[in-house]
């Protein structure tokens, strides 16, 4: 959260050179069932950059997948983790081009 304004400033600067650049916020490493997990989307909504509905929750499987050198889809293809990533990919692909 603390770096959001700086990221937006960098994106705005990049738009000088590439005016069609697109950006959105994605909540990553969200801590499930916590006030901060719920409030971060509301805080990001105060910026002009869109916030995707899909989030990625902090889970051990992501670290395990890196250690194994495999994607979450390979380790646990029907898990909540894989479903979150699939939902995120789907939402990104639905963004206007």
pLDDT at 18: 93
Element holding 2 (H helix, E strand) = none
The residues, any chain, with a CB within 8 Å of residue 75's CB and separated by 6 or more, are 61, 64, 65, 68
pLDDT at 16: 94
pLDDT at 54: 94
First CA to last CA distance, the chain: 26
pLDDT at 31: 85
Q: Within the chain, which residues score under 50 in pLDDT?
A: none
pLDDT at 1: 66
- pTM listed for this prediction: 0.81
């Amino acid at each position: 959260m603390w770096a959001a304004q700086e990221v937006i400033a960098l994106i705005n600067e990049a738009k000088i050179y590439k005016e069609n650049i697109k950006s959105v916020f994605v909540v990553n490493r969200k801590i499930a069932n916590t006030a901060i997990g719920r409030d971060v989307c509301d805080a990001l909504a105060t910026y002009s950059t869109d916030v995707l509905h899909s989030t990625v929750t902090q889970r051990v499987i992501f670290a395990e997948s890196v250690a194994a050198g495999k994607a979450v889809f390979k380790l646990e293809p029907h898990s909540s983790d894989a479903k979150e990533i699939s939902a995120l990919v789907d939402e990104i692909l639905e963004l206007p081009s």
